[in-house]
């Protein structure tokens, strides 16, 4: 069962998710307490938060403790520092075991990468050559693969402060997949 706190963007991925679950329950229009009540009534044993503090934040639902076991996974691969989140699903690269003391959650390490991927996604047919995106032939490219609203020119100013000393910089919108990008020529150029 999935509890949807987002919105229907009409994408193929959305359709795929809707059909993957026996039930797809919309809670986006509900208050945190009302959503928690529905989850509790469904007798969910393990409730997994897939976005943490990103996107449509519904961490308040978890604060009502609607399930006996509550887990943080995927969208915010760090501690939520919330006493009502019991586990964080991660890997040993994202969360080195030596850093466990900084986490309020119990850590569950997946082998390899914590990020689940599959072979069902279509691969872009374009060549994806740098020139096709207005990028320089050489240099490091900073890119945001999230929604455009999650990155803006403030991020570029931060990058300039760290990497732009004396170098030529350009901000480029590299298509829909990259909401904002920033490139710098190789050091010393």
| CATH 3.40.1210.10 applies to domain 2-109 | no
Q: Could you read off the pLDDT of 133-182 as tens digits, one per residue?
A: 777 777 777 666 655 555 556 666 666 665 554 333 443 333 333 343 44
Q: Could you read off the pLDDT of 87-128 as tens digits, one per residue?
A: 999 999 999 999 999 999 999 999 988 888 777 777 777 767
Cα within 13 Å of Cα(105), Cβ side = 25
- Domain limits, the chain: 2-109, 130-184
CA–CA gap between residue 149 and residue 132 (Å, rounded): 23
Q: Which of 180, 163, 162 is nearest to 172 (CA)?
A: 180
């Amino acid at each position: 069962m999935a509890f949807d706190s987002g919105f229907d963007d009409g994408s193929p991925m959305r359709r795929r998710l809707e059909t993957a679950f026996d039930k797809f329950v919309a809670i986006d229009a509900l208050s945190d307490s009302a959503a928690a009540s529905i989850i509790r009534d469904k007798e969910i044993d393990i409730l997994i938060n897939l976005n943490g503090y990103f996107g449509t934040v519904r961490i308040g639902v978890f604060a009502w403790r609607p399930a006996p076991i509550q887990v943080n996974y995927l969208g915010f691969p760090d501690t939520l520092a919330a006493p009502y989140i019991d586990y964080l699903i991660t890997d040993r690269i994202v969360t080195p075991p030596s850093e466990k003391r900084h986490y309020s959650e119990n850590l569950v390490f997946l082998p390899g990468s914590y990020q689940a991927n599959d072979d069902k996604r279509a691969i872009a047919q374009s060549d994806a050559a740098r020139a096709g995106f207005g990028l320089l032939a050489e240099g490091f490219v900073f890119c945001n693969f999230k929604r455009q609203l999650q990155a803006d020119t403030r991020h570029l100013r931060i990058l300039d402060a760290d990497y732009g000393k004396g170098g030529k910089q350009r901000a480029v919108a590299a298509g829909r997949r990259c909401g904002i990008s920033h490139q710098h020529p190789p050091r010393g150029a």
